[in-house]
Amino acid sequence: MDVEKIRNDFPFFSEQDQLVYFDNACSTLKPAKVLDAMSEYDRLYSTCGGRSINRLGEWVTEAVSGSRKSIASFIGASKPEEVVFVRNTTEAINLLAYSLSLSAGDVVLTSDKEHNSNLVPWQQKSLREGIVHQVVGTDADGKLDMEAYQKQLSSGRVKLVAMVWVSNLDGVSFPVSEVVEMAHRHGALVFLDAAQAAPHHDIDVSKLGVDFLAFSGHKLCGPSGIGVLYGKEEAICQLKPFMTGGSTVETATYDDHKLLQYPAMFEAGTQDYSGIIGLSSAVRYVQDIGMENIHEHVTKLNVRATEGLLSIPNLSIIGPATADLRGGILSFNIKNTDIHEIAIVLDRSAGIMVRSGAHCVHSWYHSRDIFGSVRASFYFYNTLSEVDKFVESVESISSLYS
């Protein structure tokens, strides 16, 4: 992989080459190809799809249908109709939480490392509908407690397992094939939060057999405000619509209406067409780079960064010390040093962008009595020399405060 050549694809680097962007788990940068695809829609075809049969309307309808096909193929869906466009992973999970019919007392099982987006909607469903939300623990290396998982499934009350694939907290991946297979054996449906997996891994939903999966465009070089809920045919047809209105019905009278089939039933109102077009362009772009190449490169960066940081006294890493178990994520604390101060000094003194805080996984930090962490997250356009600069800067910050 030629990183220098790849960087030329990103306008960001020609304009802000002095900045080091290590906040990729939050949002990634966008290549010119994606920006151009979106701007082509805005400049030349700026109308709605699925309605008007004039030539502009037809162009948009075709573009949306082509995007749906590209995304279905990106995740290995057996039909484009299994792909529902939503705003982001958060909206996908809310759609699922509102639309999946469960009874009071049914259990929804998550891990103890879920992003608030895969926690709060289930807590809300519990308040609204009396479902029971239960949590499976993880160990100090971020690994799912498979014995506890098996035990909870054995109760026979678990109707949905809703779990993160790659954690945004420590970068650790759960063994999703096993998670899905065990849940199905006990009659539970499975939703996977692939917000951090989709940017780094080959996804094959058909092979995995997962029922639902979601990801966001802005974490894989696409636009913000667009994401995907995948629903396997047998699973998605169990969902009731969440938002209804224009584009969700075949016809309506003053008294009644006839809903369209999925995915249209879940895509109410005028859609984010430029986002949908941008997302498929992004997906093609990362596929051209190659998901394996991406994974290999970010792991190489993480190994180098981890080796450097581990030599700093009083610095601790969240999750396993072995970098190749943490993909592109490196979360750390330095004893007696404020995490936000570290992030601010990295930015102001070295132009390095990281994130500090609880990374929307407040529940995990509260349970461990930890305030938060500093998180550096890498992507395929980052370089080893940026990593070296980052390590040097963290070293000098730590010596200032020790």
Ligand X SMILES: Cc1ncc(COP(=O)(O)O)c(C=O)c1O
**What are the residue numbers of the active site?**
360
Residues 6+ apart with CB under 8 A from 132: 105, 106, 107, 108, 126, 157
CA 44 to chain centre: 31
Nearer Cβ to ligand X (89/306): 89
H or E stretch at 86 = strand 83-86
CB of 26 to ligand X, least distance (A): 6
Between strands 373-377 and 355-357, the pairing is: antiparallel
CB of 366 to ligand X, least distance (A): 18
Selection from 294, 248, 231, 262 nearest residue 96 by Cα? 231
Nearer Cβ to ligand X (68/218): 218
Nearer Cβ to ligand X (152/196): 196
Are the CB atoms for 63 and 41 separated by under 8 Å?
A: yes
CB of 279 to ligand X, least distance (A): 12
Q: What is the CA radius of gyration of the chain?
A: 22
Collapsing DSSP states into helix, strand and coil, what is residue 218?
helix
Backbone angles phi, psi at 250, to 5 degrees: -80, -40
CB of 234 to ligand X, least distance (A): 25
CB of 217 to ligand X, least distance (A): 8
**What single DSSP character describes residue 166?**
B
- Residue appearing with tokens 């362009």: 281
| Amino acid letter, residue 163 | M
Please report, for residues 41, 60, 61, the alpha-carbon distance to residue 54 in angstroms, rounded to integers and kept in the order given.
Answer: 15, 10, 11
Nearer Cβ to ligand X (88/398): 88
CB of 192 to ligand X, least distance (A): 10
To the nearest 10°, the Cα dihedral for 177, 132, 198, 211? Answer: 60
Collapsing DSSP states into helix, strand and coil, what is residue 189?
strand
Nearer Cβ to ligand X (164/277): 164
Name all contacts of 55-64 with Cβ < 8 Å and 24+ positions apart: 60/273, 63/273, 63/276, 63/277, 64/271, 64/273, 64/276, 64/277
CB of 229 to ligand X, least distance (A): 11
| Amino acid letter, residue 297 | H
The β-bridge partners of 222 are none
Nearer Cβ to ligand X (327/397): 327
Are the CB atoms for 88 and 216 separated by under 8 Å?
A: yes
Note the residues at the interface with ligand X (CB under 6 A).
88-90, 115, 117-118, 164, 168, 193, 195-196, 216
C-alpha span between 182 and 21 (Å, rounded): 39
Listed in sequence order, the DSSP H helices in 271-370 are 273-289, 291-310, 339-350, 362-368
Nearer Cβ to ligand X (45/74): 74
Are the CB atoms for 220 and 199 separated by under 8 Å?
A: yes
CB of 342 to ligand X, least distance (A): 20
Please, is 219 exposed, middle or buried when counting C-beta atoms within 10 Å of its C-beta (0-12, 13-18, 19+)? buried
C-alpha span between 22 and 353 (Å, rounded): 5
Nearer Cβ to ligand X (118/299): 118
